Structure 1
Amino acid sequence: MKEKAYYCDENSHSKLVLADTFNYLEKIDAESIDMIFADPPYFLSNGGVSNSGGKIVSVDKGNWDKIDSLEKKHEFNRRWIKLSKRILKPNGTIWISGSLHNIYSVGMALEQEGFKILNNITWQKTNPPPNLSCRYFTHSTETILWARKSDKSARHQFNYKIMKERNGGKQMKDVWTGSLTPKREKTWGKHPTQKPEYLLEQIILSSTSEGDLVLDPFVGSGTTCVVAKDLGRRYIGIDENKSYLDLAIKRLENVK
């Protein structure tokens, strides 16, 4: 597909695109993507408050994180997941991250659109923000669903040996523990839902090979692309927020 990129990385044949995710996904060639990682909106912007660095802050992140109803939220998820299935290679896989506010809709949408869920990864955060209301257990985990097309002939890639080596010679389990995004990864600016690089490194290493093409349809500050570049993979990142893409570009240009 030929379309002007907002940022083009000639060395790795990769790019960032300033566009509406739905519109751009429709233009990507069918069965051309090896792996998709998506961190879609959690739809948490409802006027509430949270804790950040010991301070009470608003949970509102922007219009992109707002939705009118449960039905519209599920329609949103089914639509982008359906488009993702078309562009994913027969043996490719999709990873989707989310909190309890959206991940159950995502799981249902995956099955409705013809995916088989392979794993339910629990990302356990070692330093979650405290619960201000003291009326719930502290939210310290997120779920990452890993899926492939439900076609029985599909043989998804899983780099079992690499994951075993990273886990001290033992089979890696579906609970991954680590900290929230460290400050050093926010040197060039902040994104409200930025994922830590170690998380994407594990995902990309587990299910791709060097030279594969990785897509992030809600790329934000570009963590997926930064890690893909560092690991020798090609990437496409899509976002309709120019300031987030500018932040992603700064990070990409400083990958060693």
Structure 2
Amino acid sequence: MQKFYEKEDVILFQGDCIEILSKATPESIDMIFADPPYMLSNGGMTCQSGKIVPVNKGKWDESKGLNEDFEFQQKWINACKRVLKPNGTIWISGTYHSIYMCGFALQKAGFKILNDICWFKPNASPNMSCRYFTASHETLLWARKDPKGRHTFNYETMKNGDWGDDILKKPNKQMRSVWQIETPKPSEKDFGKHPTQKPLELLRRIILASTDKDDLILDPFTGSSTTGIMAVELGRKFIGIDVEKEYLDLSIKRFEQVFLKKAKVWQ
């Protein structure tokens, strides 16, 4: 497989994740974070940064109908299962348009679902039609490959860590399954943005919860590589895959910024 980018503990590939993962080393990944297409690009409109904009994100986000969409979810989840270590875990982010398919596909593939997390967005965009409740959360599924295995969960870090502006997390209390985290800050989009970009703080919590230093993390739909940026900052290794060169180029700019900052620290 030809690498699109490689530096220090980061590797990026361009292409279809199902095809690329079929050639990857089996049982080599400690944790996977996946933000698969929500299949929402249908010609509608939404609100973004106070402006009305088209929902359309690209061909990669267009629905092909219920059966084909579910088949796609099954294929990439099975491809991920092949490369995940026996005690490894996978996180999947989605809305109601996709997350139930992913959950069923996980169960069919033999995963054990550990938690469903409600990521509450206090600064979510309003609903433009005024005919629905405002969508102010996404669901995260966390699952283990081996139902009888023993996964990594850094309980004390979750209980006693610094979780910033999350008013739902009480000091010295167990981390609960509802997380208040704002959408990405402007500083996280210095080089441009991905239409479904996740905040660094969300990935910080996920990576600290379910990995240890030097673990290898995979994101099969890496986009602008928020997962990878936080993996590097927390001392983990990272592999990212995406079909879109535009977003891989954006990822590289973000990685180079992180590596430059690290280099200056050591000067």
TM-score using structure 2 length: 0.92
Partner residue of 1:231?
Answer: 234
Q: Deviations over 1:11-37 (max 9, x none)?
A: 22x201112111101011110000000
Partner residue of 2:5?
Answer: 7
Partners of 1:55 and 1:132 lie apart in 2 by 10
Q: Deviations over 1:123-176 (max 9, x none)?
A: 000111111111111000000000002431x10110001111125211000000
Counterpart mapping for 1:1-256 below 5 A: 3-9=1-7, 11-12=8-9, 14-152=10-148, 154-166=149-161, 167=169, 168-255=171-258, 256=261
Other structure's SS at 2:257 match: coil
Letter matched to residue 102 of structure 2: V
Partners of 2:50 and 2:230 lie apart in 1 by 30
Partners of 1:225 and 1:243 lie apart in 2 by 16
Letter matched to residue 155 of structure 1: R
Other structure's SS at 1:77 match: helix
Give the share of equivalent positions with the same residue, in percent: 56
Other structure's SS at 1:173 match: coil
Other structure's SS at 1:254 match: helix
Gaps of 5+ in 1: none
Partners of 2:49 and 2:159 lie apart in 1 by 35
Partners of 1:148 and 1:170 lie apart in 2 by 24
Q: How many pairs align?
A: 251
Partners of 2:221 and 2:50 lie apart in 1 by 28
RMSD of Structure 2 on Structure 1 (CA): 0.9
Moved over 4 A (4+): none
Gaps of 5+ in 2: 162-168, 262-267
